[in-house]
Structure 1
């Protein structure tokens, strides 16, 4: 993917900028140069985005064991290299660069920016060849933004396995952005879905299609007798030796969050066990995003919104995500004129823990 073009179009924009790693208060609203689209790029006026677990990890550098050095190449070693977070957007194409044929000004779009970030701003440039697709007309920008990060990640990981109507699927961390999407996509494929989450989220994941719920606060799902064709781990809190026995012969483990050992040893573990082990980042495409968008537009894939904040209150959104208790997605409404926010989280009401994807 291309890097964010920061060439000015003769003006500035508001953006949530962080100039050092740390807690939510390192994120400040600043005026920065408005980008202009380069060759093959579109300039999108952002209407909505989300604060995800990936933003938390990038802001704090609280990354899985062993990957801190490698992640620093992207995030920066001492100070942030990419100062505007935000992996997903929904908005309107304002301008197009030379060579763009897939989109034109006025198109309503949704896009996954991935590791290039930049979504927590009023404008961002996106390559027309990246994971960008048209927004269904019946989806609000806020709902569309929630579909992107979790939807495309879950779709990309599930595409690494054989997901059939006869499959049994376990999703660990089923109430997060990726987990809630994985539950829905597996259910829509006809699979039998077991969701691992807290008891308080049982109703949510059942409404999304989970056939069975395991409350991790009262039961250890790795000690149960059931075996699964696919295990989707969105938390990364269980070692491979405890997860592998849960998988049927020829089945798959999809580790959305994995430490360095998990990523490096995925192939050798696959050969040794005869099971498909996928760990760490997987490639995603515009067609995968379009698939999820079509399902959402048809009312088959449910946007899961926990809370909504204005861009000006984005530090509060980070603070809430830091609690590790978000259900689905925390939405950022990006607007030039301030609007009343839906919720402001107390700075002291929760302890901090690492959020699931």
Structure 2
């Protein structure tokens, strides 16, 4: 089969498109999925660069969970069709159109934490076929979303769903989404709006209109004279929650905007991982600071329901064939796109 094979840490030259990769065979409890569409993520680039570091050596070349076994087929965002079943798999799955949960979990419970990822700790979807656990293949019969739109969901929207669920963001609550034009940020806007939250979003001037069309009630431009004042003016009485993918100095500046009992959930630190804030503001106002990495099986099941009913409309920013994966990753790295860049094998 054709597959994009990562041969080691480094630049684009370590990613080879090959035609001679063996089609994997499903084992017990697994299915073989013919990939209809995949999508590019930060995880793909960070893994190729070995940019995650190790706890004892932040500068070490490493994947998300440490060691990566090469060669590795990357790609965690996968939609396709089940074409072969392993032992002890429900025969009804054969031929089903599916959305794949890319997480590898510590246990088979709805609340299990992810401990690995397709495309990182196991082969992923930048190929014509991929083997996945049958329990991770969610049937999409009746979904109005295209294969490419489904492929936009797993990592970005899964991460966003995990954030919203862990922060218990509910209908009628006011939530600030930072970095709202990025993959996870735009997913947060759409998913929060779909559950009836009042969404305030921060983004750049040129992407404001699209973020507004995606469901944000108020969009604050990052170049505003006083971002904090602008947000405060948009939510009289304060914010119920902040869904943050930016981090950095904004945490200390925006934390006072949370009303008593508010929640700050964070899943990224592109603006800086080292922060400083007044702990007294945290405990005296019963605030919660929540770290969120990806999603649980339960969170992804919620996302699958959203996909089946078409409650969100993922934006496909650009499309590439698998043979042009280097160009796809190059465009992704420039960060000029809004939405997701998809790959078709």
Q: Same fold (TM over 0.5)?
A: yes
Deviation at 1:191? Answer: 1.3
Q: Could you tell me how far 1:238 is from its partner in structure 2?
A: 4.1
Q: What residue ranges of structure 1 are gaps of 5+ in the alignment?
A: 1-12, 335-357
Offset at residue 245 of structure 1 (A): 2.5
Is 2:318 the partner of 1:307? yes
Displacement, 1:59?
1.8
| TM-score, length of structure 1 as denominator length | 0.78
- For residue 153 of structure 2, give the secondary structure of its aligned residue in structure 1: helix
2:287 aligns with 275
TM-score after normalising by structure 2: 0.81
Asked if the contact 1:311–1:333 (Cα under 8 Å) also holds between the matched residues in 2, the reply is yes
Whether 1:323 aligns to 2:329 is no
CA distance in 1, matches of 2:6, 2:281: 39
Q: Mean alpha-carbon deviation: is it higher for 267-276 or for 36-45? A: 267-276
Distance in 2 between residues matched to 1:65 and 1:270, nearest whole Å: 30
Question: Post-superposition shift, 1:91?
Answer: 0.4
Match of 1:141 among 137, 147, 171: 147
Distance 1:55 1:223, change over 3 A: farther
Give the structure 1 partner of residue 222 of structure 2: 216
Deviations 1:190-238 (A, max 9, x none): 2111111111111211111101111113455346562421111123444
RMSD: 3.2
Distance 1:189 1:57, change over 3 A: same
**Who is 1:198 aligned against?**
204
Instruction: Find 1:105's aligned residue among 89, 94, 100.
Output: 94
Unaligned runs of 5+ in 2: 104-116, 233-237
Alignment check: 8 A CA contact 2:96 2:141 kept = no
8 Å CA contact 1:45–1:93 kept in 2: the answer is: yes
Rounded Cα–Cα distance in structure 2 between residues aligned with 1:316 and 1:72: 24
Distance in 2 of aligned mates of 1:102 and 1:242: 55
Asked whether the equivalents of residues 40 and 98 of structure 1 are also in contact (C-alpha less than 8 Å), the reply is yes
Q: For residues 51-89 of structure 1, what are the alpha-carbon distances to aligned partners after superposition, in whole Å with 9 as ceiling and x for unaligned?
A: 012212222234499684798265656x76462211110
Secondary structure at 1:109 match in 2: strand
Is the Cα–Cα contact under 8 Å of residues 296 and 303 in structure 1 kept in the other structure?
Answer: no
Would the alpha carbon gap of residues 313 and 279 (structure 1) be closer, same or farther in structure 2, given more than 3 Å must change? same
